[in-house]
Structure 1
Amino acid sequence: MEIWVNPACSKCRTATAALDEAGVDYTVRRYLEDPPTVDELEAVLDRLRLEPWDVARTSEKAAHEVGLADLPRDAEHRAEWVARMVAQPILIQRPIITNDHGESVIGRTPEALQQVLGQR
């Protein structure tokens, strides 16, 4: 299992605590220090069955600085969304947890955490 975290994020700390409590082996990826590649983010989006704008933190200052918030949410601009999010990983929602079966969730709610824990 892998979890993409920002250590300053309370939801990330809650998620790692839940994984610890469940006795799960997992790898922490501090995605701000070790950003995903375009291919890695695309793979996560596919597993989540979401579009990049669905997991973008558009209220972040960086979103306005790189013009992400103003990009159209359509197939024509999808690659640009992904590229900007990879360039500024603070724009990616967190925590993202991928279990050993390749299923991913955004672990911000107890229900999402239970979903990934139940699938391990």
Structure 2
Amino acid sequence: MIEIWLNPACSKCRTAVGELDAAGAEYTVRRYLDDPPTVAELEDVLARLGLEPWHIARTSEPIAKQVGLPPKDAAHRADWLRLMSEHPKLIQRPIITASDGTTVVARDADSLASVIKAG
């Protein structure tokens, strides 16, 4: 099974859903702006991705300037996670996870294809 965190207004998210549908993949949708991930869920996704919070942050979003993003370092990692959970617009999209653990930020065709195969 596949789960996709998406924003329906995002063209990359709509493309990902279209590709999942075309592949006949079974998936669930999480509108993460309406149902923000918890800090623990973000930790899990980041562990699967092998990334830090700032690697999947949308730092050019207006909310980033409003909240004042912390430095990109281990000492401020918890601050990043808290801010991303409280302000999900900061999270890059779409994020797709497959039941085998494959997880991608599906902003390109290759990443999307890898998770469809895994699903």
Output the TM-score relative to the length of structure 1.
0.96
Residue 59 of structure 1 aligns to which amino acid in structure 2? Answer: S
Residue 73 of structure 1 aligns to which amino acid in structure 2? Answer: K
Residue 33 of structure 2 aligns to which amino acid in structure 1? Answer: L
Distance between the aligned counterparts of 1:3 and 1:23, measured in 2?
A: 15
Residue 76 of structure 2 aligns to which amino acid in structure 1? Answer: H
Distance between the aligned counterparts of 2:100 and 2:4, measured in 1?
A: 14
Number of aligned pairs?
Answer: 118
Distance between the aligned counterparts of 2:116 and 2:52, measured in 1?
A: 24
Distance between the aligned counterparts of 2:83 and 2:51, measured in 1?
A: 17
Distance between the aligned counterparts of 1:26 and 1:117, measured in 2?
A: 10
Which 4+ runs in 1 deviate beyond 6 A?
none
Q: Say yes or no: does 1:44 pair with 2:16.
A: no
Give how far 1:50 is off.
0.4
Aligned positions of 1:96-111 closer than 5 A = 96-111=95-110
Structure 1 alignment gaps of length 5 or more? none
Output the TM-score relative to the length of structure 2.
0.97
Match of 2:90 in 1: 91
Distance between the aligned counterparts of 1:74 and 1:62, measured in 2?
A: 20
Match of 2:34 in 1: 33
Distance between the aligned counterparts of 1:119 and 1:98, measured in 2?
A: 9
Distance between the aligned counterparts of 1:63 and 1:101, measured in 2?
A: 33
RMSD across aligned positions (CA): 0.6
Distance between the aligned counterparts of 1:118 and 1:18, measured in 2?
A: 12
Structure 2 alignment gaps of length 5 or more? none
